[in-house]
Structure 1
Amino acid sequence: MPFRIEEVQIDGPGPGEVLVQVRAAGLCHSDLSVLEGLRKRPLPIVGGHEGAGVVMEVGAGVVGLSAGDHVAMAAVAGCGRCRVCSAGRPGLCQAVTGARAEGLLATGARRLHLGNGDRLNHYSGISVYAEYAVVAAPSLVRIDRRVPLDIAAMFGCAVVTGAGAVFNSAKVRSGSSVAVVGLGGVGLTAVMAAREAGASRIVGLDIQPDKFALARAAGATDCVDAHSPEAVQHVRELTDGGVDYSFEISGNLAAVGLAQEVTARGGEVICVGVGRTDAQFTVQQMQLVTEERVIRGSFMGGGIPQQDIPRFAAMYLDGKLPVDLLRSKHIQFAELNHGFDLLAQGGTVRQILLPHGVV
């Protein structure tokens, strides 16, 4: 179902909420999966979960943010009180997950309305395919003004997810070998992070070989066509029997299987991509035991955005995470649906919507 460009009504921020002028928003495969009906969300809805902008107004009780601040908008925000939030894993907060499944903000409020007053839902508590957004304060991370806002937008999902999977979930060791299956925005960020973590061999796999030059620029030492019948054998030959860590980015079940096959005995498979809501994959139980592989999930980088995004932004400013490599082009609202067509075809990495026409 394509997006329609309409004028809608937005309330001011309530307690614990912030009004943001959205200056840039990334087109992500997670949004595409909703358009394709693979992941269900309540409709009608204002899409977009990766963005950056400028704070316009803060609601009662908000601390640490002021009008004029530049912020990255992250789809991870916890209640701050439950056991997973207390353990530093806000992405797993069930209270917030439930609210977002109903099209609400993490505060439980709805600030969007159609022109006739009918209900309009928030997407992942963000809804950045719009000129303005009201979001819960924990979804915002103040970001260094030296980071251009069209680059800052990618920190809210692509960067925090890809780099977080490497640094937080897998904790990649220096000298280890890594495979990244799927070389979109998240995958290429994982490649950059693996290089920064000191991985000695980084193999990028994708069904689109035209992405390989970009992957090598991001830090891949080798690239392999994931469609090749010899792909698994090739990776194993490159890495003396398989990689220590494989990152599956696309959420495609064939790619999940490939990630498992290229992982060495005792290695880890980190599943990052989100597929169909009802998708399942199988694991040979005896092989899992006797080869001591670890299969883990990593949701939105498995960390705390308020800590991770400033750290990753500093790495970008130091030239250690060249996130600007991910930016494919700027688009306007009229190009939004075509942009998702291009994303579905695999011919682009990160298109950036500019809701106000300029960064």
Structure 2
Amino acid sequence: MNEISTRDIKAAVIRSEGSKFTLEDLKLGAPGPREVVVKVVAVGMCHTDLIIRDQYYPTPLPVVLGHEGSGVVEAVGDAVKAVAPGDHVVMSFMSCGTCGPCEGGHPYHCADFFALNFGGSRKDGSTAVTEDGSSQIHDHFFGQSSFSSYAIAHERNLVKVDKEAPLELLGPLGCGIQTGAGAVLNSLGVGAGQSFASFGAGAVGLSSVMAARVAGATTIIAVDVQPSRLELAKECGATHVVNSKEVDPVEKIQEITGGGADFTLESSGRPEVLRQAVDALGIMGTCGVVGAPKLGVEANFDVNGLMVPGKRIMGIVEGGSVPQIFIPRLVELQRQGRFPFEKLVKFYDFDQINQAVEDSESGKTIKPILRMPS
């Protein structure tokens, strides 16, 4: 049961398109009946935070972003059953729980996914964050807005994790790491002895490489333009790496695989790269699409080149994951040393958020994680 109606928080705010984050003293209201107040321990920075900063999607401003939070439950609403104060949690994406896809076990394709994750408020238009107790700041980004010392999340997008797990490391499992790993293990269903190529070796792409190794794929190819990322891909399980600045990646993948990959994954959000990922498939191969461009961006493919060999293109959201099932599995794989996503991470203090942005965009850091002051 919540005992505090309003609390002071420190949050990072985006006030205009393309602007830097500003750390501001704000107010956080009480949780709703099925909502939870989480004291944020750490939060990953994802490409999706930055495309909202740049208004690829029309999330209203000013807004508190952040959607890879981990922390400790501080207070709960009257109807919350999934967690209790003191529980360690990872915050993931939000879904309604009542539409056809949600009831069918596919919350990542929720009919209200866009409104609940990118709308800048609860579904009813209300927010929990205010500037002075009255001036509204948009929040509930991915149902959490965790670039903040405290966040309000719904019990549906919380994942309880073992208190022995490294909580400050786990936030990125809520989106980016889950997306890459789940694309391979859940959506594409890469199997033992098969071939897989990741077009992009950022956090999502490298997570997919690690997952392909877990799945038993025997040919695992990472494609990127940055040599340092390709070297890291080898550490993460890639059997081959391709610098697409130096060679044609389609020809190289066809050469490596003897005709084309069983599966490819496109995480850059660039239409021309998606075309390469489709063209690099073998007969009856499947290309997964996780890269997010601006709304309205279109891609092309050779119709006969798709139809005759029976290729498939699959849209994938959040790795086709049910977070409460999949994230604990990734935690255990990491504990066993079989999914070493800590190789992708660099920690920053919360007040270094704009440095983390710069390092992420330059490619210097694969996955920044912001530590909150204790």
TM-score bracket, normalised by the shorter chain, equals: over 0.9
Specify which of 234, 242, 246 is matched with residue 264 of structure 2.
246
Residue type of the alignment partner of 1:93 = C
- Give the distance between the partners of 1:248 and 1:21, measured in 2 at CA: 34
- For 2:295, the equivalent position in structure 1 comes to 277
Aligned residue type for 1:40: P
Structure 1 stretch 295-304 or stretch 277-286: which is displaced more? 277-286
Report what 1:350 is aligned to.
367
Indicate the residue corresponding to 2:10 in structure 1. Answer: none
Q: Which residue of 1 aligns with 2:75?
A: 57
Cα 1:107–1:146, aligned 2, differ >3 Å: closer, same or farther? farther
Aligned equivalent of 2:282, options 264, 280, 293: 264
Identify if the C-alpha distance between structure 1 residues 183 and 347 changes in structure 2 by more than 3 Å, giving closer, same or farther.
same
Letter in 2 for 1:98: A
Aligned residue number for residue 198 of structure 2: 180
Deviation of 1:108 (Å):
5.8
Which string of whole-angstrom CA distances, capped at 9 and with x for unpartnered residues, describes residues 178-218 of structure 1? 00111111111111110010101000011111112211111
Does 2:185 match 1:155?
no
RCO (CA 8 Å, sep 6+): is it higher in 1 or 2? 1
- 1:118-137 residue pairs with structure 2 within 5 A? 118-122=135-139, 123-137=141-155
For 2:14, the equivalent position in structure 1 comes to: none
TM-score (norm 2): 0.91
> Aligned residue for 1:170?
188
Deviation beyond 6 Å, 4+ runs, structure 1: none
Which residue identity is paired with 1:138?
R
Equivalences, count = 355
State the distance in 2 between where 1:214 and 1:145 align.
29
| 1:166 positional shift | 0.6
Judge which range, 94-103 or 216-225, deviates more.
Answer: 94-103
Instruction: Report whether the alignment pairs 1:111 with 2:119.
Output: no
Q: CA RMSD in A?
A: 1.5
Cα pair 1:163 1:190 within 8 Å, conserved: yes
Aligned residues with identical type, % of pairs:
34
User: Following TM superposition, by how much is the alpha carbon of 1:106 offset from its aligned partner in structure 2, in angstroms?
Assistant: 5.5
Which has the higher mean CA deviation after the structures are superposed, 203-212 or 335-344? 335-344
> In structure 2, what is the equivalent of residue 297 of structure 1?
315
Rounded Cα–Cα distance in structure 2 between residues aligned with 1:100 and 1:316: 27
| TM-score, with structure 1 as normaliser | 0.95
| TM alignment of 1:92-107, pairs within 5 A | 92-105=109-122
The worse-fitting range, judged by mean Cα deviation, of 215-224 and 276-285 is: 276-285
106 and 24 in structure 1: CA distance in 2 versus 1, 3 angstrom threshold: farther
CA distance in 1, matches of 2:176, 2:117: 20
Q: Which amino acid letter does the alignment assign opposite residue 340 of structure 2?
A: P
Which amino acid in 2 is paired with 1:56?
E
User: Which one of 83, 92, 108 corresponds to residue 100 of structure 2?
Assistant: 83
Q: Which residue of 2 aligns with 1:330?
A: 347
Residue identity in the other structure for 1:182: G
Give the deviation of 1:79 after TM superposition.
1.9
Name the CA distance, whole Å, in 2 between partners of 1:298 and 1:95: 16
Q: Secondary structure of 1:121's partner?
A: coil
**For residues 56 and 108 of structure 2, what CA distance do their matches in structure 1 show?**
21
Alpha-carbon distance change, 229 to 212 in structure 1, aligned in 2, over 3 angstroms: closer
Task: Give the Å deviation of 1:150.
Answer: 2.1
